[in-house]
Each structure stands twice: as C-alpha cells, then as structure tokens.
C-alpha cells in the first residue's frame, strides 16, 4: 500500500532538532528526503548524544533519532556552484525546509521568492526561533531559551523550586511536529490550488500553543499560571507516596473522582461540582496521602485501573521502554546494522499506526555525505564534474 508522501521529494537543509524531525516524520511516511549539509560543517546533531564514539564518527544518537529514511549530501551554499546544484534539486522537489537565521537564505538568492520562480509548486518552510518578522526576528535561540522566553519555565517546577526547564526538548519536538502538520496541510492545499506555499513557523509561537488553555485563561482574566509541581488543582488528580514509590492519580473529571472515592470506600468525599473539590483540596489530599501509603505503587495502579480510575506508578525511561505494551505498538524501530556503526540501535518511529500504508523505516541514518555522488548523478552531473566539485570543496 502506498504511503501518504510517496512521490514527494523534500530538500532538508536543517540542523539540530526541530527541522530534521519535521522532515523525518514525512520521511517515515514515504517522502524522499535529501538532507543537505555543508562539507566542512556537519549538522551539530551528528556530534551530539550519549555515545562519544558515535559522536566522534559524526553519527551521534541525536542524529540517529531523526536520520532514518534520508539521503545525505554535502553542498557549500556560499559557493555559486553549490547554489546551482540546489536550484537543480529544487526544480524537481516538492518541499524545501530550512531553519537558518531569517534572511540568510534570501541573501544567498535562495529565498522563497527566488525558489518559487524556479518551481511555482514548491512548498518552502522556514523554521526559526521567533519568526521571519517581528521585533525579535534577528534573535536566535534553542529549545531551552524558548522555554525561558515563552513563560513555560516560569510555570514549571514546584512552589519552592522554580522556574524549571522541561526534562526533554519538548518545544523542539513540538515545533518539528507542527512543521510536519503545516507541510502536510500545504501539500494538500497545493492539490487544490496548484500553487506552492511559504510556511513561516516560529518556535516561540509553538511554545505558546503548548500553553493553550493557560494562555486563554490569562488573556481572559489575567490569571497567570503558577508552578505547582505534582500538585494539580484537584487532589484526586495528583501524585502521592506509596509504599515503594510515587503514584500519579488522574481522577480528573467528576465521574472519575466519584469512582475513586467509591473504590476507596470513602463515598463521603465525593463532590458534585469542581468548586467544591477546589475548596476541599487540602482535606482530600490529606485523606488520599494516608490511604495511598498502605500499598505499593504497582498494586494501586493495577487496582485503580481495574476500576476505570486513571493511575500509574511513576517510572524511569528504562522501565517505560521495557513495558510489553510496546511489543504491538510499533513506536520504536530497531536497526540491526548501519554503515559506520558497530551493533544495532533503536529509534522512535511514530506514535500512531495506520490500517495500511503507515509509517515505516526502510533505510538507516546515512553517513555524512554518503549519497552526494548518487544524487548529483540523478541531476545529470558526470563523474568528472562531481570529482571537480569535490576537489573545489563545493561538495
């Protein structure tokens, strides 16, 4: 069965995380992704990750995370011959994704307007920290800087210890996912209009979307979100110490809190409205803390889930990955062998499954520039021309 983006060619001129993750998501759904890197300046992610040997070999785990199903070429876009190669690529491409400083590509004659003249159907996606316009346009940032700028850090942590950065680079991954959604939307729109599109996506904008309900609350009545750690507004929707660890209870709505209190044989604690729950929060928390201490977190998880009350023992990543639930979910893909890497490794694939034609990985993350000759040959370059380009460090 054909996957959604088979026949779609993506030129991925991005680095680190958000941009590469966007192209990766379309790649596992069938797109032909050509990753472009400078011959003397590999993607920073190639030398980042938990395995130093892989970092030294420009195959770091940060790159492996989102490198599958891509081809790798090297181009010096500051050289006219490098730009000419890119123009040839664009002529036959559907998507170009870049995440350099706003204006940098336009200054090289590679901006949206120039590329649109070459290929009017091109979907051109510019990912940046703050967007292509606005007072912060020229500023740069990474995930943690955006967390600080957006207010995410200020609302994260406990009442005593804050602000705290997320443990994972959630803004980067959310930006990549938002970009993949925007690209899919623009490609769908193109089917109707025949026209390409310029997508201007900012990490700061994505961070604000991640705080959607908090943002609406603030815009309505000035209620600024405060850090409260594992203590949610409702006591039945918070974290407690069990005999051997932490238990997160998720009895969020009125029906769930009723089932929780009835299961705990405390029907007297059931509330009929959320304001009453907020008013009695301290008392409810005290009662729950005393009860949860009587069993292990695993026992409570199984017991409460059997009674349709959301609850989970707080797990480490190692414990989460070992969960047999994943055996049927295809969230991860395991590469048995990969050029430049000794031994196998696993990568995230997708959080969803299709009944047919869904996400899959066919090729491992490529070594730096591994596909340069093949891609240039597809564009009509002869072996002698390719050798001359390499000698001149254009590729």
Average pLDDT, the chain: 97
Domain 235-314: assigned CATH number: 3.30.1540.10
List 33's β-bridge partners, or say none: 10, 70
- The architecture in CATH of the region 9-210+328-391 reads 3-Layer(aba) Sandwich (3.40)
Q: What is the mean pLDDT of residues 146-163?
A: 96
Q: What value does the mean pLDDT take over residues 149-170?
A: 96
- Residue 3's CB is within 10 A of a number of other CB atoms, namely 18
pTM of the model: 0.95
Q: Smallest Cα–Cα separation from 85: which of 386, 387, 391, 392? A: 386
* pLDDT tens digits for range 223-258: 999 999 999 999 999 999 999 999 999 999 999 999
Looking at residue 161, what is its pLDDT?
95
Using the predicted structure, report yes or no on whether residue 104 has a pLDDT greater than 80: yes
CA dist 136 and 345 (Å) reads: 40
Tokens of 193: 């209009």
Three-state DSSP class for residue 250: coil
Would you list the domain boundaries of the chain? 9-210+328-391, 235-314
| 172 tagged catalytic | yes
Alpha-carbon distance of 49 to 54, in angstroms, equals 8
pLDDT digits (tens, 9 = 90+) for 303-312: 999 999 999 9
| Average pLDDT of the segment spanning 94-123 | 97
- Give the pLDDT score at 1: 61
Model pLDDT, residue 57 = 96
Q: What is the pLDDT of residue 155?
A: 96
pLDDT of residue 283: 97
Say if residue 221's pLDDT is above 80.
yes
Between CA 33 and CA 96 the distance in angstroms is 10
* DSSP output for 80-98: HHHHHHHHHHHHT-SEEEE
pLDDT digits (tens, 9 = 90+) for 375-390: 999 999 999 999 999 9
Which residue among the candidates 172, 200, 268, 280 is catalytic per the annotation? 172
Mean pLDDT of 267-296: 97
Euclidean distance between CA atoms 285 and 291, whole angstroms: 10
> Is residue 39 pLDDT above 80, yes or no?
yes
Residue 167: cis peptide before it, omega within 30 degrees of 0: no
Closest CA to 395 of 89, 81, 14, 170: 81
Percent of the chain with pLDDT over 90: 99
Give yes or no for residue 359 having a pLDDT over 80.
Answer: yes
């Amino acid at each position: 069965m054909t996957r959604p983006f088979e026949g779609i060619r993506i030129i991925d001129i991005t680095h680190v995380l958000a941009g590469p993750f966007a192209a990766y998501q379309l790649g596992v759904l069938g797109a032909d992704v050509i990753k472009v890197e400078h011959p003397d300046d590999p993607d920073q992610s190639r030398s980042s990750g938990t395995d130093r040997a892989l970092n030294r070999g420009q195959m770091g785990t940060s790159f492996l995370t989102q490198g599958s199903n891509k081809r790798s070429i090297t181009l010096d876009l500051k050289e006219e011959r490098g730009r000419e190669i890119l123009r040839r690529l664009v002529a036959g491409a559907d998507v170009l994704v870049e995440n350099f400083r706003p204006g940098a590509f336009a200054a090289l004659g590679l901006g949206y307007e120039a590329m649109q003249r070459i290929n009017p159907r091109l979907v051109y996606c510019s990912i940046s920290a703050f967007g292509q316009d606005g007072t912060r346009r020229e500023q740069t940032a990474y995930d943690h800087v955006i967390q600080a700028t957006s207010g995410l850090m200020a609302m994260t942590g406990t009442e005593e210890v804050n602000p705290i950065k997320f443990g994972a680079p959630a803004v980067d991954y959310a930006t990549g996912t938002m970009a993949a959604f925007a690209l899919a939307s623009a490609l769908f729109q193109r089917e109707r209009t025949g026209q390409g599109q310029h997508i201007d996506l900012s990490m700061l904008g994505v961070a604000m979307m991640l705080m959607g309900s908090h943002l609406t609350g603030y815009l309505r009545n000035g209620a600024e979100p405060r850090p409260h750690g594992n203590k949610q507004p409702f006591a039945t929707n918070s974290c407690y110490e069990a005999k051997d660890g932490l238990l997160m209870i998720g009895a969020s709505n009125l029906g769930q809190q009723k089932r929780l209190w009835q299961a705990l044989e405390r029907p007297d604690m059931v509330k009929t409205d959320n304001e009453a729950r907020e008013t009695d929060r301290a008392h409810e928390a005290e009662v729950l803390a005393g009860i949860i201490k009587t069993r292990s977190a695993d026992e409570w998880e199984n017991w409460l889930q059997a009674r349709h009350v959301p609850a989970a023992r707080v797990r480490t990543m190692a414990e989460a990955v070992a969960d047999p639930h994943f055996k049927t979910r295809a969230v991860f893909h395991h590469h048995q062998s990969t050029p430049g890497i000794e031994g196998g490794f696993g990568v995230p694939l997708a959080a969803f499954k299709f009944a047919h034609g869904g996400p899959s990985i066919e090729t491992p993350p490529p070594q730096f520039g591994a596909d340069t000759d093949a891609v240039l040959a597809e564009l009509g370059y002869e072996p002698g021309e390719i050798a001359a380009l390499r000698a001149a460090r254009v590729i």
